[in-house]
Amino acid sequence: MVATWLSREFGVEFPILGAPMGGRAGGALAGAVSAAGGLGLLGAARYNSPEWIEAEAAIARSVGGRFGVGLMTWSLPENELLLDAAIAVAPTMITLSFGDPARYVERVHAAGIPVVSQVNTLEDLRVVEAAGVDAVIAQGGEAGGHTGRIGTLPLLQEILDSTSLPVLAAGGIGTGRGLAAVLAAGGDGVMIGTALLASPETEGPEYARARVVDAGSADTVYTSVFDRARAQPWPQRWGGRAVTNEFTAAWHGVDVDEDTLATAYDPSDPNSGVVYAGEAVGLIHESRSAADVVARIGADAERLLSRFA
């Protein structure tokens, strides 16, 4: 495999991060990604607790040794104890995404932990560069969950041309072809999330795995309707990409109040509950272990790149 900043800095076999998906990426998934040769991240959402981070970190460490923790920067001011807990479990990496991480980077660096931030625009890049992060992830609008609006390939090219920091890519990457393309373009690795959603190590309702396997690449929608229904106060600039269902068909784009959405929403109903997933969902045709997903992406990318070595 091509040596990159990610592989050199963290000793991973494959330059692959497992995305810190809130409600999906717990210790079992993060540990499995790391055990397979990547680096898995816990998804510490605003509704998680410091105790959750401590417990899931112990699982991740027991399964895969190293792991990272992903935090949502915009929500940290309401509960900085999540950051304290993330630092306390001594992860290999902390990601601070969706907002300006300036007030937190020095605290993480003081503990000897590298900081990486996802960015969705060139303006985001300038903000996190000024904050002193160690690397960035160009997250395109094809990504599942909360993301920006610029496609991965245009954004990746723009970011690579605009910074000396190591650059990874996320959004629409689900096979070795995607990893090979990013490395060939000069990137240092990828972050995958959707590709892991059908894996048995992924948390969440069982119907979510089935919806991911059944969905095609055109079966997603970029929407804020699930945030509004669940009273999740995400900043307006970040919508979430999810698999379409009866709830999005009925309410996406409809001018209606949050109380009406909350009443209509049923997370236990497969036709209503949110399944955040990106456009790479069309590449998932069966449930495979996280280890198999990571190993296959890495091996296929290496095979493709070897044609030009």
Match 């993330």 to its residue by tokens.
86
With vertex at residue 173, the alpha carbon angle to CA 167 and CA 179, rounded to the nearest 5 degrees, is 60
Residue type, 194: T
pLDDT of the chain along its 309 residues, tens only? Answer: 789 999 999 999 999 999 999 999 999 999 999 999 999 999 999 999 999 999 999 999 999 999 999 999 999 999 999 999 999 999 999 999 999 999 999 999 999 999 999 999 999 999 999 999 999 999 999 999 999 999 999 999 999 999 999 999 999 999 999 999 999 999 999 999 999 999 999 999 999 999 999 999 999 999 999 999 999 999 999 999 999 999 999 999 999 999 999 999 999 999 999 999 999 999 999 999 999 999 999 999 999 999 876
- Residue 278 contacts by C-beta under 8 Å, 6 or more apart in sequence? 142, 143, 144, 145, 147, 171, 172, 193, 194, 220, 241
pTM of the model: 0.96
Phi-psi region of 79 (alpha: psi -120 to 50; beta: other; left: phi over 0): beta
Assign 70 to helix, strand or coil. strand
Taken in order of first residue, the domains within the chain and their CATH numbers are 5-203+284-306 (3.20.20.70), 206-264 (no CATH)
Lookup: tokens for 107: 């605290």
